[in-house]
Amino acid sequence: MSNPPSPPLESLHNHTTSSDGEFTHFQLLDLAAEKGISVIAFTDHDSLPSPTIYQKLQNEYRNHPVKWIAGIEISSGLPTELGGGSYSGLHIVGLFVDPNNPNLKLHCERAQRARVTRMQKMVANLNEIGFHITEQDCLVASGGEAVGRPHIVKALFSRMEENAPVFERIRNEMKQAAEGNPELSAKYEDMMKQEEGRHPYALFLTPSAFMPHIYVDYEYTLDMDSSVRLIREAGGVALIAHYFTCEPKISHEFLDSLLESRRIDGLEIVFGVKELEQTERHRAFVRELVAKHDCLVSGGGDIHTLADMENYVSEAVRPVVSTTAGMAAELLRRSAATREHSSIE
């Protein structure tokens, strides 16, 4: 007797060329159809489907075999009692939002302007340590859309004849500094296990990098409750994305209190499939909180590239990813969100 077919996967966290993804909205839907994903949410960083894209989705892609959901991923500031300031690790995913909501659109406009300023400062910092990179390189890498750190990385690697020696020098500096420093040694060893395209984040493009002074945080952010309010007022549900990135600031106890007081609608229980062993502790804790508070759940591949998509549908991660089946329908059933800004019937 043959095994029953696996339930269709969903990915409710994905990025397009409107932020730092590799594919357009329409290419992403076609690729998802090829890979057996049944529902895709567009959750670009502080970016919504443009009026032209949204109209095409509504008019030409409502009957696409892959259902789509309009969404956003807001780069949020901290809750006010934790300072309310900018923090790169706290992201709020909004699903079923109205892309034409004026307040949400205004937020995106402000955030995109701030992203350009942030990029300009990081480019200046990189020039100071010897890299060859310009603001225009980063804008070209972004395709004129929301510019972010992945575009800075792409710009750096587009000029590797000039930049390779600088990378090698900084890696050697980190290796030498790691001698006798167990914490830094572990970071160095972890970096060297990753593909070269991830090295800039460990070296200088995160607050905890080897050279943290290169990184510049967001200059415009809303505190967490204001971010959640924006999503809810745009008709959506608000969920904390990939908890492991905000755990350094959002403790287990504090996250528990946020759910208890309904300041957030829910949590992602699947957040990409990279480094599953390292993130299992976080996923286990999140599942415990979901059971305790009976809150909303979401999840997805945090897909940016073809490799992300292929990893997400691979058999190796099927036990984790299969939990996404039926998530979109359950979100609609249990919340005040509507199907209006999706193709779900």
Question: In this structure, are residues 19 and 47 in contact, taking their beta carbons and an 8 Å threshold?
Answer: yes
Q: Over the stretch 184-232, which tens digit does the pLDDT of each residue have?
A: 999 999 999 988 999 999 999 998 999 999 999 888 999 999 999 999 9
Distance CA(238)–CA(72), nearest Å, equals: 10
Question: In this structure, are residues 104 and 250 in contact, taking their beta carbons and an 8 Å threshold?
Answer: no
Distance CA(57)–CA(13), nearest Å, equals: 18
Strand partners for 37:
9
Task: Give the model's confidence band at 88: pLDDT under 50 very low, under 70 low, under 90 confident, else very high.
Answer: confident
| pLDDT score recorded for residue 5 | 52
Distance CA(165)–CA(160), nearest Å, equals: 8
State which amino acid sits at residue 111. Answer: A
Angle of helix 135-142 relative to helix 102-128, nearest 10 degrees, comes to 140
For residue 310, pLDDT over 70 is answered with yes
| pLDDT score recorded for residue 4 | 45
Mean pLDDT over residues 19-23, rounded?
91
| pLDDT score recorded for residue 278 | 67
| pLDDT score recorded for residue 306 | 94
Distance CA(274)–CA(320), nearest Å, equals: 12
Distance CA(328)–CA(70), nearest Å, equals: 12
Question: In this structure, are residues 269 and 287 in contact, taking their beta carbons and an 8 Å threshold?
Answer: yes
Mean pLDDT over residues 71-83, rounded?
96
Biggest CA–CA distance in the chain, Å, is 65
- φ/ψ of 235, rounded to 5, equals 90, 5
Task: Give the model's confidence band at 1: pLDDT under 50 very low, under 70 low, under 90 confident, else very high.
Answer: very low
The pTM score is: 0.89
| pLDDT score recorded for residue 280 | 83
Mean pLDDT over residues 9-35, rounded?
95
Distance CA(50)–CA(64), nearest Å, equals: 19
| pLDDT score recorded for residue 341 | 98
Write down the H helix ranges in 23-101.
25-35, 51-60
Match 């999840």 to its residue by tokens.
Answer: 299
Mean pLDDT over residues 147-167, rounded?
95
Q: Over the stretch 258-274, which tens digit does the pLDDT of each residue have?
A: 999 999 999 999 987 77
Distance CA(324)–CA(133), nearest Å, equals: 40
DSSP assignment, residue 5? Answer: P
Mean pLDDT of the chain: 94
Q: Over the stretch 313-332, which tens digit does the pLDDT of each residue have?
A: 999 999 999 999 999 999 99
For residue 3, pLDDT over 70 is answered with no
Distance CA(214)–CA(127), nearest Å, equals: 10
For residue 121, pLDDT over 90 is answered with yes
